[in-house]
Structure 1
């Protein structure tokens, strides 16, 4: 049996971290290395499903599963703890409950909401970030509806929901809201016409970078469900009473609302910035083998990594699809380093497609170069979700947590 086995520490059980650890146990034997996975919670949550939990169209427990159910517990030491700091030179990770030395480190700590310095957003807006924020937002929306008819003086701001951001998260959340609001109106005896849902987007289009035909379809579909769009309009300030929005060189507009949702961007985890890595908004521009420049024993993936598309000279978006592919590459490369297996593998993203849901039974997307919308796109979205579950936990996890209601 090997003495002084290399210590591999993986921070974060998101898409990238879980793929790394499940594949790594197949790359290296029990006598080759000690593997430790650190995560704040004892569960993994499907980040790409948080818009459903936030709107209340999918229970938050459906969006998570226990980490122990998908890792090989005889091979992986799971530590439920919070990462406080990474000391690169000392090769150790500081946790709330102690320290972990490492020989190889994988950082997959995920992202935090990016407020771009807009006054009041951090204090008064609801992010769609994790299980707890999604549960809080769902309960808050329901409370506003439940309270509306109990007050002698009716307050329209209780039934006004402002969503900042019309990217993937914002649009998918709006799609779920469009389905959920009529149910809430029926439950709490409220006329649907009294509810106002406003999406504010600073960019000149919804779903920036997406196919224009599909963007038009999404906008018209959501407008038909009663969603208002203010495009090319920036959120300037958020207060306890709503938001100030406006176009450049135009008079600002006040929107009174008790529910402001911020879905306009994320940045890498602050631990990455504090550790001293050269970064941009918490994301490290990694080498082609996914190692951090100047640190041959540190791999960074997911929301914390910045990987450039050579064709466009722009970063790939930090999607679950890419994070999972990065996890596979990282596992292979750590295996080669431990076994002395020669040159490391370069990460080459294989983008199979992108689909944005517009509620349970509608969506838009491009898959293998083919444009999809409506029911076919919605079915494909569920197939993608199920495939993600299968890649991590096999058929058992897919049957337990998968989405099989296609019509």
Structure 2
């Protein structure tokens, strides 16, 4: 039997892909067997999904084939769905087989967190995957056709987005651009179209710079977004949402973009979690399981003030790099590196040609921020796929 250590990476999101690509670069041939497991044969850009969801871009532009990213001589790719993680046996049960591991990296991505709001899981849609945004786009377009058949049903033309964090704001920005186009194409009076963004927190983009938040809300209000800030959704029904003290907003479309939790498979594996996320140690390992690493939406880490880092693509990418380093160090019996998040800035798009951002210690808004957002996206393409991927995808981002 081979004594070569087996590394299994679950999930090809930002954290999983960066872990795999760095291992590919740092490991020598035959130093470890590395297997990447993902339920799709592509990696998708979560930070770009709001565009195809609204219909302002094609879904193809938000994904890239995994085979174009990895070296098949260094990384084995298995297209399958994870069913169970057995930490005692060091095995991962897939829907069509079993993998054993010496080192495990969990980067399975998050699931919608509805905070127990009745009806949200049953009646709302989520911007979480290529398939989910395809459904959202087709659903939105279908509402205009439905209205033409039943012109008394103005709820078909009412769209509610729950959550005014980055995902919610970026989506309403794109949707505010798209809805007038759909109204024109379908000969619908645009004045009948309503777009609500509802947020329970006292501010949109919670925790972001107040000046930039104000600018973002002004831009989106001009585009036709009606904000309900400091207003909680109490229930989601087949007919819309109940907000505040019992007010009903009738809407045939509700998109929930207000929360992410970790993956339930981790809890089912007996690993201690907080809302499905693992409070990892400084080296990104599961406490008590030195051979299991957790990255991305599944990990929980705290900043110097004791507040949890938000599950962003930026932190997942940096975790992937550190995780790969520590896996190589473990195999070579070298000291592990502590993970330190270096915030390179944050940019939120507000639709075509508009964005707000903080980067390099400065505030950006408008067209300059939109260009900065594009530069960030292109940088990521370069990191994972070099110049060829930038040439292929860069013009679409």
> TM-score if structure 1 supplies the norm length?
0.96
Aligned match of 2:340 in 318, 338, 348? 348
Q: Secondary structure at the match of 2:388?
A: helix
Q: Secondary structure at the match of 1:93?
A: strand
Give the unaligned 5+ runs of structure 1.
Answer: none
Residue equivalent to 1:313: 306
Residue equivalent to 1:200: 198
Residue equivalent to 1:398: 390
> TM-score if structure 2 supplies the norm length?
0.98
CA distance in 2, matches of 1:325, 1:271: 23
Residue equivalent to 2:100: 101
CA distance in 1, matches of 2:84, 2:127: 25
CA distance in 1, matches of 2:24, 2:249: 53
Residue equivalent to 1:297: 291
Residue equivalent to 1:369: 361
Aligned match of 1:252 in 239, 246, 255? 246
Please state how far the C-alpha of 1:401 moved relative to its aligned partner. Answer: 1.2
Residue equivalent to 1:9: 8
Question: What's the C-alpha RMSD, in Å, of the aligned pairs?
Answer: 1.1
Moved over 3 A (4+): none
Matches within 5 A, 1:319-330: 319-330=312-323
CA distance in 2, matches of 1:80, 1:64: 16
Q: Secondary structure at the match of 1:314?
A: coil
Q: Secondary structure at the match of 1:308?
A: coil
Residue equivalent to 2:327: 334
CA distance in 2, matches of 1:282, 1:403: 37
CA distance in 1, matches of 2:163, 2:233: 9
Residue equivalent to 2:48: 49
1:79 counterpart = 2:72: no
Residue equivalent to 2:233: 235
CA distance in 1, matches of 2:35, 2:262: 22
Matches within 5 A, 1:208-223: 208-223=206-221
CA distance in 1, matches of 2:9, 2:94: 13
Please state how far the C-alpha of 1:404 moved relative to its aligned partner. Answer: 6.2
Matches within 5 A, 1:109-128: 109-128=108-127
Please state how far the C-alpha of 1:193 moved relative to its aligned partner. Answer: 0.8
CA distance in 2, matches of 1:318, 1:402: 24
1:278 counterpart = 2:276: no
- Asked if 2 retains the 8 angstrom alpha-carbon contact of 1:126 and 1:133, the reply is yes
CA distance in 2, matches of 1:28, 1:226: 52
